[in-house]
Amino acid sequence: MLDIFIIIIILLCLADIFLVVYAVNCVNKKNKLKKTEISLTSLFEKSEEKRIKAEIERDKSATVISSFNDGLIILDERDKIFLINPEAKKNLGLETDRLLKKSFQFLSDFQKAKPIASALNEGLENIYRKQIELEKDCIIELSVTPLNLNKNNIGHLIIIHDVSREKIVERMKTEFVSLAAHQLRTPLSAIKWSIDMLKKGDFGKLTKKQNVVVKSILENNERLISLVNGLLDVARIEENGYLYKTAMTDVREIIALAINSYKDEIKDKKIKIDFKKPDNFPKMMLDTERIRLVIQNFIDNAIKYSPKGGKIIISLKKDEKNIELKVQDFGIGIPKSQQDKIFTKFARGNNAIKINATGSGLGLFSSKNIIEAHGGKIWFDSKENVGTSFYFSLPFRPDVK
Ligand code: ADP
């Protein structure tokens, strides 16, 4: 009986212990669960925070892109349209989002965007400030920038900058200059004609003093005529563009014609011109009229700024990619301090003004624009009282485009 009693007590004790262990275990598990719950909640809160932050950043970028004053189109790495901002839609007359995820070539479905599609079609690289007329008086500047992330290309950013207003104002200015210059030409010619008669003594013999004054009026009038002619040239070129009408041309012929147009001045100043004409020189595509103006300007300057009996050497060469023209003289040279401004409008060297009051300082400005519109380069080297060499190089284009 005692045995059974002891066994029952032992069993009861064991049950107690078991219950206590079980209870402790339960509490531990509960604690663990609680901890897990807490860490899960905090993890969730953190990722939610990150999500909200990312959304805010995304919304910020989207606001920046949509409120941009320029039209923006983003292409993904497969050249598919990823985003078009409202300004781009306005510029190109796109009222729909149906272009999204489509190749940029689909831009040509929209009349106004056609010229952009064909410019992009020529290659996304190397498009920088390319001017395109979308329709009358609607001109844009197109630029394409590759988007790189960790050295990997993730697409392209197309920027459409509307320059219509600037272009219209520029055109109005050019038209005004051209009109004013035209109007000035007639009275200036009349003045020149009358003073010439005075000088020749058609209205009676002039005294020595009168002669000096008449000579000075004549010189200043010549200067005005040259300035007006220079302005007219610039206006004419700016109206039609620095590259207007291209044709297959033999550059040697333009040089020969340009030399010929100065035959009187060359004779008067007893200048020796040495044109090192290459025997074989292929024709190439260029704007003959405009390039003739550049070559004439180089030769005109070389004659004007050479001493009597001076020498001018003209050479023309070609390598695989470019042609290069050099016009060298041994005249007054360009003072070092004025060399960096020489291609800007109205720039003239002090020494040049002294010996030739009639220059306009517009010839080299036009020449630079013409050469650069052909994709070429223009430069010079010069030393005062030693001489000057002017050069230009043009990419050789034997093809008709
Ligand atoms: P212009 O000769 O009518 O003044 P350009 O634009 O052709 O205008 O030339 C600008 C200036 O550059 C000249 O006034 C002169 O100071 C300088 N220049 C150009 N070519 C020469 C040259 N061959 N020798 C010396 N100076 C030159």
Nearest atom in ligand 1 to the alpha carbon of residue 364 is: 6
CB of 333 closer than 6 A to ligand 1?
yes
Task: Give me ligand 1 centre to Cα 263, in Å.
Answer: 19
- Residue nearest (by alpha carbon) to ligand 1 atom 14: 348
CB of 71 closer than 6 A to ligand 1?
no
pLDDT number for residue 33: 80
pLDDT number for residue 239: 78
CB of 127 closer than 6 A to ligand 1?
no
What is the residue-level pLDDT of the chain in tens, covering all 401 positions?
666 767 777 777 677 777 777 777 767 788 888 887 888 788 888 888 888 898 888 888 888 888 889 999 999 999 999 999 999 998 888 877 788 899 988 898 888 999 999 899 888 887 888 889 998 889 999 999 999 998 899 999 999 999 999 989 988 888 898 899 989 999 999 999 999 999 999 999 999 999 999 999 998 998 899 889 889 888 888 877 777 788 999 999 999 999 999 999 999 999 999 999 999 999 999 999 999 999 999 999 999 999 999 999 999 999 989 999 999 999 999 999 999 999 999 999 999 999 987 888 999 999 999 999 899 999 999 999 999 999 999 999 876 54
Best residue among 305, 353, 386 to mutate for probing ligand 1, ranked by most atoms within 8 Å of CB: 305
Task: Give me ligand 1 centre to Cα 307, in Å.
Answer: 14
Half-sphere exposure of 369 (CA within 13 A, CB side): 18
- Residue 225: count of CB within 10 angstroms of its CB: 18
CB of 387 closer than 6 A to ligand 1?
no
Helix, strand, coil fractions of the chain, as percent rounded to 5: 55, 20, 25
Task: Give me ligand 1 centre to Cα 106, in Å.
Answer: 51
Cβ within 8 Å of residue 242, ≥6 positions away: 290, 366, 369, 370, 372, 373
CB of 115 closer than 6 A to ligand 1?
no
Task: Give me ligand 1 centre to Cα 348, in Å.
Answer: 6
Task: Give me ligand 1 centre to Cα 333, in Å.
Answer: 9
Task: Give me ligand 1 centre to Cα 306, in Å.
Answer: 11
Dihedral in degrees, nearest 10, Cα atoms 26, 31, 36, 39 = 170
- Residue 120: count of CB within 10 angstroms of its CB: 23
Nearest atom in ligand 1 to the alpha carbon of residue 349 is: 16
Task: Give me ligand 1 centre to Cα 196, in Å.
Answer: 27
Are the CB atoms for 155 and 75 separated by under 8 Å?
A: yes
CB of 224 closer than 6 A to ligand 1?
no
- Residue nearest (by alpha carbon) to ligand 1 atom 16: 349
CB of 310 closer than 6 A to ligand 1?
no
pLDDT number for residue 401: 46
Nearest atom in ligand 1 to the alpha carbon of residue 342 is: 12
With 0-12 / 13-18 / 19 or more C-beta atoms within 10 angstroms meaning exposed / middle / buried, residue 137 is exposed
Nearest atom in ligand 1 to the alpha carbon of residue 333 is: 25
Are the CB atoms for 329 and 388 separated by under 8 Å?
A: yes
CB of 284 closer than 6 A to ligand 1?
no
Task: Give me ligand 1 centre to Cα 301, in Å.
Answer: 6
Helix (H) or strand (E) holding 316: strand 311-318
pLDDT number for residue 338: 95
